[in-house]
Chains A and B, each alone.
Chain A
Amino acid sequence: MNRKIRVLIGKPGLDGHDRGAKYIARALRDAGMEVIYTGIRQTPEAIADAAIQEDVDFVGISLLSGAHNHLFPEVARILTEKGASDIILFGGGVIPEEDISGLKKAGYAAIFTPGAPASEVVDFINLQMENRQ
């Protein structure tokens, strides 16, 4: 067996600021994971479809535009609808503290806000994988 942790990093909506997403993608790559980066301005549907085709363990969504309360739960809803609720979701970007608990209720295992070191995301993923086994 030659299993790799597979993570999809997606950016939904109209926000084109992808530096954070690329930074995380790079950090996860350097931690030995296979990272699928889908690029900017994806619909929640496109992100969910890609995640299912790529059979990823995690989907990380990055958003800086403020539309997270709409777009993040939408990705979770579509994944569940398509029978892929086992994929673990996390989010990042400019997310106000008061929105975090709502996003967690919507199915996000973790939300990373500005200033969070990339190693925190790596640790989160590794811990989730350990818990799963």
Chain B
Amino acid sequence: MSSTDDIIRGIGEGSIRAIARALSMVENGSADSVEVLDKVFSLQSGFSIGVTGPPGAGKSTLVSRMISRYRSQENTVGVIAVDPSSPFTGGALLGDRIRMQSHASDPGVFIRSMGSRGHLGGLSGATRDASLVLSAAGYSPVIIETVGVGQAEVEVADLADITLLVLVPGLGDDVQSMKAGIMEIGDIIILNKADRNGIDQLESYVRASLELMPPGIRKPEVVRVSAVNGDGLENLWKAIDRLAAIHSDEQRKSRSAIKTLNEILKENGLLFAERLLETQYNGREAAEELILSGTLSPYAIGKKLLETAEGMLKHNGSK
């Protein structure tokens, strides 16, 4: 099981152990993970749903409802549930499974908990690659639950094919819904805990805020639900189905491929820059020392690195 080839084969065959190992590899950023991702990239199919919203909004409970819904249609469902890691110790308490207990022994459901591991934006750095692994193993939809987010953690919208923003009554006044950021990313805005006081007010705030959206941007649907007792879920499923029908698998795949390339470019850029720092300044620490001592500004170092890269390209005669 430990060999990379076994893991690649196992993902194609839907082996739980192999999938779990592959997820650890991408999470740990192990050297072999790139080979695994490269080999399984073409296997991905289906679509992904991102679920985001403030802490305690009912995201995990909604995800559990969603799992039941797709299981009743004979789909196998993958879930990536991200919870925050401590910025001090790096530890994390991952508790999203508690709300998904009813699916614990269902072989058609794969749930993976991930710590954010210092990554900001509501996800972990490996969420995109983890989602690819589950998709390649045949799970569809792959549901991605973010950490409980504040106002600006909008990354999930970039990753998932459909983004659900879960809001609940009692989190603030109408100025909150006028702010930029999180309010703009939902394909569907779910008003959860509809049995609670303040739900009418919340809906009027949200709708008023959407009225003011600039023309040309597709307005999200607003759906009231109570995830705990099941009210309104049928309307939510219909709204999700409408969105899922807009794009074909092929279109989703192309979009995901381009986004993935963007991520890889960023990562590679960082890796390459670190290598250049080593050759030009004896590494990052030494470069930092030059900045702190007032010898060079960070911009001067950045400029030098780019010039060095340019020089190397010319030397190699590349285009």
Enumerate chain A residues within 8 angstroms of B92, measured Cβ to Cβ: 4, 29, 34-35
Contact segment of A49-57, A94-102, A113-121: A49-57
A39 touches B29 (CB 8 A): no
Q: Quick check: is B4 within 8 A (CB to CB) of the other chain?
A: no
Kindly supply a per-residue 1/0 record for chain B positions 91-116, scoring 1 wherever the CB is within 8 Å of any chain A CB and 0 otherwise: 11111011001001101001111010
B90 touches A38 (CB 8 A): no
Enumerate chain A residues within 8 angstroms of B20, measured Cβ to Cβ: 52-55
Query: Which among A1, A4, A32, A42 is the interface contact of B30 at CB below 8 angstroms?
Result: A1
Q: Quick check: is B17 within 8 A (CB to CB) of the other chain?
A: yes
Q: Quick check: is B24 within 8 A (CB to CB) of the other chain?
A: yes
B89 touches A36 (CB 8 A): no
A35 touches B91 (CB 8 A): yes
Instruction: Give the distance to chain B from A56, nearest Cβ to Cβ, in Å.
Output: 9
Instruction: Give the distance to chain A from B186, nearest Cβ to Cβ, in Å.
Output: 28
Known: A26-B93, A29-B93, A83-B1. A39 touches B101 (CB 8 A): yes
Known: A1-B29, A34-B94. A52 touches B105 (CB 8 A): no
B89 touches A32 (CB 8 A): yes
Q: Quick check: is B297 within 8 A (CB to CB) of the other chain?
A: no
A30 touches B89 (CB 8 A): yes
In B87-145, which residues have CB < 8 Å from any A CB? 89-95, 97-98, 101, 104-105, 107, 110-113, 115, 117
Q: Quick check: is A112 within 8 A (CB to CB) of the other chain?
A: no
Query: Which among B90, B101, B105, B113 is the interface contact of A32 at CB below 8 angstroms?
Result: B90
B104 touches A38 (CB 8 A): yes
Enumerate chain A residues within 8 angstroms of B89, measured Cβ to Cβ: 29-32
Residue of A nearest to B103 (CB): A46
Top 6 A-B residue pairs of the complex, sorted by shortest distance between their CB atoms = A46-B104, A39-B98, A29-B91, A55-B20, A32-B89, A55-B24
